[in-house]
């Protein structure tokens, strides 16, 4: 690109951004509200598919802004529709709203003391992944955009999604159920944006990656059948625990010897084994439960095929039998390359070029991916760690913390992305 063309491109981009710009005064007017909302949601968290009060608070706020609101989507989800002053495309913004069965362990003034029930057990409940910040950020964006309808060419759809962490056993939920119940329809969504706060990166920074960004997550269950016998006479039976060990060892060879890890990383983890009742009895059966994480569709197909073959084949080799069942939890969180490229200048304009960082993929999963299977989507990471901190507590842990000051950049970024996308010719 020659200097004249580049200069023209930058000038055109600046003009477009200037036309879409929201005043700093508007953003400052919602900053404390966003912090207060976040702290309220943090203090009173609710588990997946049980986010009743959370949904009520969201719906009440959206209605107060004059936004068309639909409740009860995918059980407790809330969808808001804001039409601009002129017709155009439809962009969706998504925030997840559920908390985790984690007992909070810190000294925050708004620490959760909530106790709930998870799989029949009494548990502490905590926003240990930052979904409270996502809700508050999107509520702030809704308020900003509702005051700037004259700048919206088209429609903004606000999707507050329950059960991102997974619905309770035996229930449907999450992004898949929201799609099934029409969250991307009426009006039909053209593109969708989402973010995730990150406790390990400093406030003021944004991380992004085109293409595969977060992993497809498969939960698997292996049932091994053997033949029970006395522990002193293993030759009198078939040991399912021994077979299970061979299968686990075999799985790792799929990663280390059959998967091209130069394409993308992949992980197979067995997280639970259940077998036997006594030290001196070789049991009749064993069960293994685990997860597969992949970032490339072809690698995913290879790994699942080889796990199936290996499960059945190794069990037979050692005199037993085994089956494996997979349950898809998330697809690959795949950032549409063209949409990512189009939005990168917006990220850089909002956060500063030096604060927008190209990152590597992560093997964590995110059901935002199901939206991306239906429409082009872009998902990015927002810094939430206090600058200068040397220790960041990981997500899904009792000590997890987020710096409130990081949320305003999230509000600004999603606002700018919405306007720039809708007003782009």
Give residues with Cβ within 8 angstroms of 39, minimum separation 6: 110, 404
Return the closest-CA partner of residue 398 out of 101, 48, 45, 102: 102
**What is the separation of C-alpha 24 from the centre of its chain, rounded to a whole number of angstroms?**
29
Which element (helix H / strand E) includes 1?
none
- CA–CA separation, 182 vs 205, rounded Å? 34
Residue that the structure tokens 């009006």 belong to: 187
Q: What is the dihedral of CA 299, 210, 129, 402, to 10 degrees?
A: 150
Please provide the size of the chain in residues: 425
Does 129 belong to an annotated binding site?
Answer: yes
Measuring CA to CA, how many Å separate 177 from each of 9, 90, 117, 325, 375? 42, 20, 22, 22, 16
Measuring CA to CA, how many Å separate 339 from each of 89, 264, 345? 14, 21, 11
Does 366 belong to an annotated binding site?
Answer: no
Residue that the structure tokens 């059960």 belong to: 163
Residues 23-27: contacts with CB under 8 Å, at least 24 apart: 26/144, 26/147, 26/148, 27/144, 27/408, 27/411, 27/412, 27/415
Q: Do strands 68-73 and 77-83 pair parallel, antiparallel, or not at all (unpaired)?
A: antiparallel
Does 165 belong to an annotated binding site?
Answer: yes
Give start and end residues of each alpha helix (H) in 21-126.
24-43, 52-64
Q: What are phi and psi of 388, to 5 degrees?
A: 95, -15
- CA–CA separation, 227 vs 282, rounded Å? 8
Active site residues: 98, 164
- CA–CA separation, 21 vs 145, rounded Å? 11
Q: What are 412's two structure tokens? A: 């600004």
Does 131 belong to an annotated binding site?
Answer: yes
- CA–CA separation, 186 vs 88, rounded Å? 14
Give start and end residues of each alpha helix (H) in 221-326.
240-253, 297-317
Does 127 belong to an annotated binding site?
Answer: no
Q: Which residues are annotated as a binding site for Mn(2+)?
A: 129, 131, 165, 196, 396
Q: Which residues are annotated as a binding site?
A: 129, 131, 165, 196, 396
């Amino acid at each position: 690109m020659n200097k004249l063309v580049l200069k023209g491109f930058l000038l055109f981009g600046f003009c477009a951004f200037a036309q879409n710009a929201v005043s700093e005064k508007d953003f400052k007017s919602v900053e404390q509200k966003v912090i207060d909302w976040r702290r309220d949601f943090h203090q009173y968290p609710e588990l997946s598919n049980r986010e009743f009060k959370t949904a009520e608070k969201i719906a009440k706020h959206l209605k107060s802004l004059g936004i068309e609101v639909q409740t009860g989507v995918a059980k407790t989800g809330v969808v808001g529709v804001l039409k601009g002053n002129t017709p155009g495309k439809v962009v969706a913004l998504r925030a997840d709203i559920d908390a985790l069965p984690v007992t909070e362990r810190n000294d925050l003034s708004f620490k959760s003391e909530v106790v709930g029930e998870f799989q029949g057990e009494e548990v502490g409940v905590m926003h240990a992944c930052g979904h409270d910040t996502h809700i508050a950020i999107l509520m702030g964006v809704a308020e900003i955009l509702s005051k700037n309808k004259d700048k919206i060419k088209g429609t903004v759809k606000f999707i507050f999604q329950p059960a991102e962490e997974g619905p309770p056993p035996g229930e449907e939920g999450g992004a898949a159920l929201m799609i099934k119940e029409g969250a991307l329809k009426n009006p039909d969504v053209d593109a969708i944006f989402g973010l995730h706060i990150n406790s390990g990166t400093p406030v003021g920074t944004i991380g992004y990656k085109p293409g595969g960004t977060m992993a497809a997550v498969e939960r698997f269950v292996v049932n091994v059948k053997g033949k029970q016998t006395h522990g002193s006479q293993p030759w009198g039976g078939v040991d399912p625990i021994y077979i299970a060990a061979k299968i686990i060892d075999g799985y790792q060879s799929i990663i280390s010897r059959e998967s091209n890890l130069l394409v993308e990383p992949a992980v197979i983890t067995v997280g639970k084994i259940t077998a036997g009742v006594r030290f001196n009895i070789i049991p009749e059966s064993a069960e293994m439960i685990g997860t597969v994480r992949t970032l490339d569709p072809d690698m995913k197909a290879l790994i699942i095929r080889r796990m199936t073959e290996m499960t059945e084949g190794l069990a037979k080799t050692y005199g037993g039998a085994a089956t494996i069942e997979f349950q898809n939890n998330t697809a690959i969180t795949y950032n549409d390359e063209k949409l990512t490229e189009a939005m990168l200048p917006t990220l850089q304009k909002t956060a500063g070029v030096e604060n927008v960082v190209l990152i590597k993929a992560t093997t964590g999963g995110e059901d935002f991916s199901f939206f991306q299977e239906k429409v082009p989507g872009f998902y990015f990471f927002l810094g939430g760690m206090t600058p200068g901190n040397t220790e960041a507590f990981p997500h899904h842990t009792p000590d997890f913390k987020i710096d409130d000051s990081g949320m305003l950049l999230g509000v600004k970024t999603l606002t700018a992305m919405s306007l720039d996308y809708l007003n782009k010719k």
